[in-house]
Chain A
Amino acid sequence: MSEPQAASHSGNDYETALTSSPTTIAAFDTHEKGALRKVQHFLHSNPAAVPLIVLVLSIAFFGMALGGKFFSAFTLTLILQQVAIVGIVGAAQTLVILTAGIDLSVGAIMVLSSVIMGQFTFRYGLPPTVAIMAGFAVGALCGWINGILVARMKLPPFIVTLGMWQIVLASNFLYSANETIRSQDIAQNAPILQFFGENLRIGGAVLTYGVIAMVLLVALLWYVLNNTAWGRHVYAVGDDPDAAELAGVNVRRMLISVYTLSGIICAFAGWALIGRIGSVSPTAGQFTNIESITAVVIGGLSLFGGRGSILGMLFGALIVGVFSLGLRLVGTDPQWTYLLIGVLIIAAVAIDQWIRKVAS
């Protein structure tokens, strides 16, 4: 092996001018940036900051407008109770959206799982714990099918879950025969189904187990997304699936695991739903899929995947909760709530696009 020509004369003739050029390469520009650029940079590295600021401002606004009526432990924990289900389903939605997908079937899977838990107990007389396990299994199965169709068949997530939404919802009505299981029956025969409706009272604050479970679930997923290889891979897959694959991430397996976990979390939401409304109703939670997407979007997660924090989703859900309850207490037409949430959704996406420009 002989030495290459590089040893005899370094580089090519046109490059000789380089010897007199500075030797530093492509250093970061550390010169002062404008205040606006700094804000942009801060938000780029702290994706949950925008929804947190909006949340704090909206609480402050309603606190000032309504005083003690809003700013009491009871009202504030009531908001938490009202967003618990959306928060749990939003956690599932977050995982899917981080992979640049979308899950329209979350609400339907939740309701079907809760119906399975109820009917298995009351129709077949199974022990409630077994029925709950069956509910989780059905949720996981629905999610797994979504995952297989997205990852293996390469169908667009929007289409897959749009179809799954209809299929699961129809199965739910067919199987339950549109029958509601009454709250009293559940309380008498299978109180564990209403477990997440029980609560802790601290002064005026009422924390249901559902609220606590939602907060713990978000905290757990936050840890997993940020501190485990699986979590980093969720981001990598959503960011650029081809790059992730070439870098050694098994993209298919990741997608299937994300959709399956989404189904399991929805089943969990189904259980919490029984606690929240007391009964098992096949018509409950009609808008949960849209509400979960709203929470995710207002929470600053990018629908293009790979960006955002699950904490943002929680803040997004709380913002919607604060506006809903705050405006109701003010006594306005509830349509104002929807109008404002619509504005927030568009504003959130506009801000996301602006923050992304930091990269260019």
Chain B
Amino acid sequence: MTAEPILSARGLVKRYGRVTALDHADFDLYPGEILAVIGDNGAGKSSMIKAISGAVTPDEGEIRLEGQQVHFRSPLEAREAGIETVYQNLALSPALSIADNMFLGRELRRPGFMGKWLRKLDRAAMESFARDRLTELGLMTIQNINQAVETLSGGQRQGVAVARAAAFGSKVIILDEPTAALGVKESRRVLELILDVRRRGIPILLISHNMPHVFEVADRIHIHRLGKRLTVINPKDYSMSDAVALMTGAKAPEEPVAA
């Protein structure tokens, strides 16, 4: 790994009352890679992801994006910096349409008088953009872009959320448990989607409990334990049971941080 990390964190600390969720956690994501983050429940994976995506503010530590230190106070700020996150709960508004959801918080307005003074939304542009993105990712079994998201299946919702991230994420895409709620076939589709996105050069941070999925797509695996990075392994050198042993503490890492 020769390049500089595109996104890195050093010494992140987050406490909730007397619970220390993050205990001086470090983290590195390199350009063009898929980095999986695994860890037992309560290891602090979610807290770390939230800190990186701006959903929580860490008590200590620093986060660097392309070498520049950043302080995100909200997911919106992280998003503006080019980090898109697909949360486990997807962050979709069920009653709004697919197009509305894709553009939530960054709506397009009509050009000219209607947009400037009457602040009218450019429905046609948003719909065609949404349709293009979904087609690109092979999700156009969805016929009607104005369909409310609540009428979609779990896999389709996941597809919409991933498409939204892929459409706008310019630097980093974070996926939190993207296959947790999906069936076998839908999971397969989402994994292909992930590889698709990487092929376009955008690095991906993948949080998952599903070892087969992690070992299939990840270039490196970050193992999180007790609020910090235990080690980083190459999935080719380790088996799934090694990874599970490491993350549960049944086995100690051979070297502190292998890249």
Contact of B185 among A25, A233, A244, A248 (CB under 8 A): A25
* B interface size (C-beta, 8 A): 54
Tell me, in angstroms, the Cα distance from A230 to B119 when the chains sit together: 9
- Residue B241 interfacial (CB < 8 Å): no
The one of A2, A18, A307 in contact with B219, judged by C-beta atoms closer than 8 angstroms, is A2
Contacts of A250 in B (CB 8 A): 74, 76
A265 to B72, CA, bound (A): 36
Indicate which residue in B90, B93, B120, B123 contacts A306 across the interface (CB closer than 8 Å).
B93
Asked if B135 lies at the interface with its beta carbon under 8 angstroms from chain A, I say no
By a CB distance below 8 angstroms, the chain A residues around B191 are 6, 11
Whether B219 lies near A4 (C-beta < 8 A) is yes
List A residues 316-336 near B (Cβ within 8 Å): none
Contact of A28 with B143 in the complex, beta carbons under 8 Å: yes
For B92, the closest partner residue in chain A by CB is: A243
* Cβ–Cβ contact A27 & B34, under 8 A: no
Q: B58-92 CB contact bits vs A (8 Å, 1 = yes)? A: 00000000000000001110010000010101111
A246 touching B55, Cβ below 8 Å: yes
A235 at the interface (CB under 8 A from B): yes
Q: Which of B85, B92, B96 has most A Cβ within 10 Å? A: B96
B133 to chain A, nearest CB (A): 16
Q: A240-B94, A247-B101 are in contact. Are A229 and B85 (CB under 8 A)?
A: no
Please, how many residues of chain A have a CB less than 8 angstroms from a CB on the other chain?
42
Q: A227 at interface (Cβ–Cβ under 8 A)?
A: yes
* Cα-based distance from A247 to B76 in the complex (angstroms): 8
B95 with A307: CB separation less than 8 A: yes
Q: Please determine whether B89 and A242 come into contact, CB atoms closer than 8 angstroms.
A: yes
Query: Is B184 touching A18 in the complex (CB atoms < 8 A)?
Result: yes
Residue contact A359 to B212, C-beta cutoff 8 Å: no
User: What residues on B are CB-neighbors of A229 within 8 Å?
Assistant: 107, 109, 119, 121
Bitwise, A246-260 to B at CB < 8 A (1) or not (0) is 111110000000000
A29 to chain B, nearest CB (A): 10
Having A4-B217, A6-B191, A239-B93, one finds 19 other A-B pairs with CB under 8 Å, namely: A4-B34, A5-B216, A6-B195, A6-B217, A11-B188, A12-B212, A15-B184, A27-B141, A28-B141, A28-B142, A229-B119, A230-B119, A236-B93, A236-B104, A246-B85, A247-B75, A247-B105, A306-B94, A359-B148
